[in-house]
Structure 1
Amino acid sequence: MESLAKAGPLNLSNLIKQHYHHTKLSCIISNPFVSWAVDAALENGIPCAMLWIQPCLPLLHTEDLPSFLLPSNSFGGVFKLLSDMFETIKKYKWVLANSFFELEKEAIESMTELCPIRPVGPLVPPLLLDQHQSLDVGIEMKKPDETSLDWLNKQRPHSVIYVSFGSLAVLSAKTMEAIATALKNTKHPFLWVVKTAGQLPLGFEEETKTQGLIIPWSLQTKVLAHPSIACFITHCRWNSMLEALVAGVPMIAYPQWSDQPTNAKLVVDVFKVGLKLKPGPNGVISNEDIEECITQMLSGPEFEGFKKNAAVLKQAACEAVTSGGSSERNIRLFVNEIARRS
């Protein structure tokens, strides 16, 4: 990261001068992890906006903090990256947030006193926002397994447990065994994204072949939008969490690192759309705790509350991006300001 920060500004500035010397760039939009981009933009007289891709924050306990801020963090360069990020934020003319005002009203109002933040999200595929599919210009990181949608079509509404921990998380063998045992014991249908079958306990796939489906990668937005999905066991990466919120799907949070513990705090205590799995003293979750969470999510006393809160947030997200909605207005204001400067 340090090498990129040293070489990035000069190379970006040279790229702008070499390839856009006949064209006036109206704006550069960068994410928080390339905070040096704003210096190259200012050097070339181009206004710059930061696209903030993480949530605002409620009151936190130690276990809720992003892992990079803890003494146990082994990625030393990240703390400096975060420090530089907040130091350079004052240089940006705009900070665009992948969120929406109705989701984080209190935090957004507070942050506007520090920087010109404008929520323009949720930045999710149009399928989740009840918009026309022709508007979808996204790409998939990997080739998804489309058999999952055919399988979901055969399941009852609100019956399937969807399990996915993204492309980076690597779970221990004990954790994989606990999840597998819990899924088998609940007897609920499940769709589990597992990168390689070798990560599963021996014999599990054969034992549960009539109960669940295991795939290497999923069309996540289509899966979450499917009426058979009852809940989502997730690592709480912000994008995945937003997709679940917009789909109206309650969550069981099992955060791993980075901002995921903080996002899990939002799921449970702020948005109130789910529960959190807590590892035992040995650092491993038990299958009993997972089974209890699944039972509570699908039939416990808070079940209806989770569904209701998720539905309310789904509606708010859809309204935010429609004509006149909070995010749509912010995007329009942003574009108009750029147009006036051009």
Structure 2
Amino acid sequence: MRGDHIEEGGLSGASWKVISPLSFLFWRGGDNVKQQTFVKDFRYFSGSKTLHITLYEEWPHKPFAPVLETPVRNGARVTFATAVSACRKMVESKSSNFPDGLSLATFSDGHDDGIKPDIDFDHYMAELQCRGSETLRDLIVSSLERGQKFMCVFYTVLIPWVADVAKSLQIPTTLVWIQPATVFDIYYYYFNGYEDEIRNAVDDPSSQIQLPGLPVLNGRDIPSFFSPASPYSFSLPLLRRHFEILNEETNPKVLVNTYDALEPNAVRAINRLDIQAIGLLVPSAFLDGQDPSDTSFGGDLFQSSKDYIKWLKTKPNGSVVYVSFGSISVLSKLQKEEMARGLLESGRPFLWVIRNIGNEENDEDRLSCMDDLRKKGMIVPWCSQVEVLSQASVGCFVTHCGWNSTLESLVSGVPMVAFPQWTDQHTNAKLIKDVWTTGVRVNMNKDGVVEGEEIKRCLELVLGDGERGEEMRRNAKKWREMAIDAAREGGSSDQNLRSFMDEIRRLSFATI
């Protein structure tokens, strides 16, 4: 990873110089949520001769390989490290088309055949920390020995040990938060004086809690990791360590995939932290249109054809219900039957993503009304979500409320039926329904199942001609326009990222 002594670089039109050898290290691990979120906008670092990016654990279903083409086109040499299992899936899905200048390195996370559904996550996270810490340290040290200095390490949730390793090597770190700023604040308050209040709200779903700078929350709006019944208890100690690290730093920085107008109070609620909103980070073709060829995150873990796009183009504007629960959540057989009943009784065309574990449909998993479903709608194992949401025929998104899915719906101007499953999704559903007013939220029965009648009711509210449906469609359009404004050159997210990068640049000059 050698670099010339001085390279001319561009800061989105502003001229500046980067003295090489310099490099920026991106480290990813933990929960395998969608990870296009951050690297796209680091096209502004193209003046650095070497940009070193690493990805840890399973490659998420929307990784950022194609967006790395921008720094590569501008002369950067990029090394992208990912798990052996993820690399295999990329090859199987035929999505690993890397440009010249982008190299792929693989490592073993101890699960080369992929993570099994019955894995002991406590053991896995301990193993990941052990292997990851050693690999990260070796990478940084070997780069230093070759004269290549990393100026900053960027890391994300559930891998706080990355910051510990970087700190031991005297390298600054920045936390990249991939959930909403509102959720970040809830965790911050929990670990900084509000633990009892939040615990009490979780124990009593009908109770309310008011945290500084946030909307009033009910117990069911709190992230599920706080629940005593959560099977992911390993996460809280890791999250606690994140906030301990931030409290230890003199100038802690957090980059969040949101935009100022979307969460104005949450972004500014915590005075001692420098929280910068740098989103929405989705392909340009679906956001600002500056690069019409930028239509994919690439590197998908699942194969998909594009027949569904042709099908969507045959449907009237705003008529289709799109149903997807992301790359992790899998509905129970009973819940899928109720979803099918609600869709059929609504009488509306639909595109439904049903991803089976192992990508194979078992006889016992086959829905009883599958023939009727295929007559009325289309069922696919996977699809390009942003491309689907950008189709004029899509009028509603039934979503698990994963943060990236939520953002993609907002930037597409599509109202939502919020169907949260776990982690931050409950809070996201609260924001969708009560803060942004771009959707409705389903209600479960006493057994925790959302019945077909409830699904039909929600679809009619969103797609119907009533006042609430009209309001949601107006608001969806408003938030889309504000997202585009934030992402444009000179917009709030663009300015926030410029300011952050200027500080990193000043740091690089000060330490060389």
Give the Å deviation of 1:10. 4.3
> How many Å separate the matches in 2 of 1:185 and 1:145?
28
Q: Which amino acid aligns with 2:143?
A: H
Residue of structure 2 equivalent to 1:19: 143
Give the Å deviation of 1:137. 6.6
Matched, 1:118 2:276: yes
Give the Å deviation of 1:6. 4.7
Single out whichever of 79-88 and 224-233 deviates more from structure 2: 79-88
Q: Which amino acid aligns with 1:13?
A: R
C-alpha deviations, 1:96-116, integer Å up to 9, x for none?
Answer: 1010101000111113x0311
The DSSP-based 3-state class of the residue aligned with 1:17 is helix
Q: Which amino acid aligns with 2:350?
A: F
> How many Å separate the matches in 2 of 1:220 and 1:89?
34
Question: Where has structure 1 moved over 4 Å in runs of 4 or more?
Answer: none
Matched, 1:185 2:345: yes
Q: Which amino acid aligns with 1:42?
A: K
The DSSP-based 3-state class of the residue aligned with 1:76 is coil
From 129, 137, 158, the equivalent of 2:287 is: 129
Residue of structure 2 equivalent to 1:82: 239
The DSSP-based 3-state class of the residue aligned with 1:32 is coil
Matched, 1:141 2:301: yes
Q: Which amino acid aligns with 1:328?
A: D
Matched, 1:45 2:170: yes
Give the Å deviation of 1:283. 1.2
C-alpha deviations, 1:187-238, integer Å up to 9, x for none?
Answer: 1000000114553422x23223332000000110000010000000000000
Closer, same or farther in 2 for the Cα pair 1:12/1:195, shift >3 Å? Answer: same
Matches within 5 A, 1:71-220: 71-90=228-247, 91=249, 93-111=252-270, 113-131=271-289, 132-135=291-294, 138-139=297-298, 140-196=300-356, 197-198=361-362, 199-202=365-368, 204-220=369-385
Matched, 1:224 2:389: yes
Single out whichever of 6-15 and 145-154 deviates more from structure 2: 6-15
Closer, same or farther in 2 for the Cα pair 1:48/1:137, shift >3 Å? Answer: farther
From 247, 252, 272, the equivalent of 2:437 is: 272
Residue of structure 1 equivalent to 2:31: none
Please say if residues 319 and 394 of structure 2, whose CA atoms lie closer than 8 Å, have aligned partners that are also in contact: yes
Taking structure 2 as the reference length, what is the TM-score of the superposition? 0.64
Please say if residues 415 and 476 of structure 2, whose CA atoms lie closer than 8 Å, have aligned partners that are also in contact: yes
Residue of structure 2 equivalent to 1:322: 488
C-alpha deviations, 1:4-54, integer Å up to 9, x for none?
Answer: 335543431222001343112122111122122122222223221111111
Please say if residues 180 and 200 of structure 1, whose CA atoms lie closer than 8 Å, have aligned partners that are also in contact: no
Residue of structure 1 equivalent to 2:160: 35
Q: Which amino acid aligns with 2:240?
A: S
From 414, 431, 442, the equivalent of 1:249 is: 414
C-alpha deviations, 1:240-259, integer Å up to 9, x for none?
Answer: 11100111110001111111
For structure 1, the 5+ residue unaligned runs are none
Closer, same or farther in 2 for the Cα pair 1:333/1:222, shift >3 Å? Answer: same
> How many Å separate the matches in 2 of 1:340 and 1:322?
24
C-alpha deviations, 1:62-91, integer Å up to 9, x for none?
Answer: 111111101111222111112112211233
Single out whichever of 78-87 and 19-28 deviates more from structure 2: 19-28
Matches within 5 A, 1:280-295: 280-295=445-460
Closer, same or farther in 2 for the Cα pair 1:135/1:147, shift >3 Å? Answer: closer
Residue of structure 2 equivalent to 1:338: 504
Task: Report the identity percentage.
Answer: 36
Which structure is larger by alpha-carbon Rg, 1 or 2? Answer: 2
Residue of structure 2 equivalent to 1:60: 217
Closer, same or farther in 2 for the Cα pair 1:232/1:200, shift >3 Å? Answer: farther
Q: Which amino acid aligns with 1:71?
A: P
Please say if residues 295 and 387 of structure 2, whose CA atoms lie closer than 8 Å, have aligned partners that are also in contact: no
From 398, 408, 412, the equivalent of 1:233 is: 398
Q: Which amino acid aligns with 1:238?
A: W
> How many Å separate the matches in 1 of 2:294 and 2:149?
27
Q: How many residues align?
A: 340
> How many Å separate the matches in 1 of 2:467 and 2:296?
40
Q: Which amino acid aligns with 1:56?
A: A
> How many Å separate the matches in 1 of 2:440 and 2:262?
18
Taking structure 1 as the reference length, what is the TM-score of the superposition? 0.94
C-alpha deviations, 1:136-185, integer Å up to 9, x for none?
Answer: 57222322231110000100000000000012112111111111011111
Closer, same or farther in 2 for the Cα pair 1:2/1:60, shift >3 Å? Answer: farther
Residue of structure 1 equivalent to 2:21: none
Q: Which amino acid aligns with 2:174?
A: A
For structure 2, the 5+ residue unaligned runs are 1-124, 183-213
Give the Å deviation of 1:264. 0.7
